């Protein structure tokens, strides 16, 4: 199973996001999925059930990126009333921070960072120069 462009288009449609403006992001998500899968296969740690976890990781990254871009456009604080007199912290900051937490948790499940690999004891063998 792989992250398919049609699945992403369906998701964006359900969220009410204009598809034509998202072509770049859709291709980027599919590429990220393929890259993570390739990295895990190369490390001989990929299992078919990992597809769902990788999809979640890619979706979280997309949500994180979208929240960050929109927050840059809207600002760190936004008006919350019609008269535009009351400002509060942009809710996108919370979405961004939540996605970072999800990405870190999912990455740990997949053992994608050096610290996670060390903690999970998934170290690659290295040549110490001695014959065993």
Report which of residues 113 and 127 the model is more confident about: 113
CA separation, residue 58 to residues 54, 62, 121 (Å) = 6, 6, 25
pLDDT in tens, 67-83: 888 888 788 888 888 88
pLDDT in tens, 26-51: 778 888 898 889 888 888 888 888 99
Structure tokens belonging to residue 86? 């009351």
**Is the C-alpha dihedral spanning 65, 104, 11, 78 positive or negative?**
negative
Report d(CA 103, CA 97) in Å as an integer. 10
Going by the DSSP 8-state scheme, the letter that residue 43 receives in this structure is T
pLDDT in tens, 91-123: 889 999 999 999 999 988 888 876 666 655 544
pLDDT at 74: 81
CA separation, residue 98 to residues 16, 24, 75, 93, 108 (Å) = 22, 24, 18, 9, 16
Report which of residues 35 and 124 the model is more confident about: 35
Q: pTM score, two decimals? A: 0.67
Structure tokens belonging to residue 128? 């110490």
Domain boundaries, the chain: 5-119
């Amino acid at each position: 199973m792989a992250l398919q462009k049609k699945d992403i288009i369906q998701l964006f449609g359900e969220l009410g996001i204009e598809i034509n403006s998202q072509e770049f992001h859709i291709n980027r998500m599919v590429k990220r999925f393929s890259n993570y899968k390739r990295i895990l296969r190369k490390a001989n740690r990929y299992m078919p059930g990992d597809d769902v976890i990788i999809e979640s990781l890619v979706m979280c990254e997309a949500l994180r990126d979208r929240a960050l871009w929109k927050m840059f456009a809207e600002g760190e604080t936004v008006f919350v009333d019609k008269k535009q007199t009351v400002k509060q912290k942009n809710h996108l900051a919370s979405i961004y921070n939540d996605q970072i937490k999800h990405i870190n948790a999912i990455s740990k499940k997949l053992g994608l960072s050096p610290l996670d690999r060390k903690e999970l004891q998934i170290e690659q063998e290295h040549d110490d120069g001695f014959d065993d």
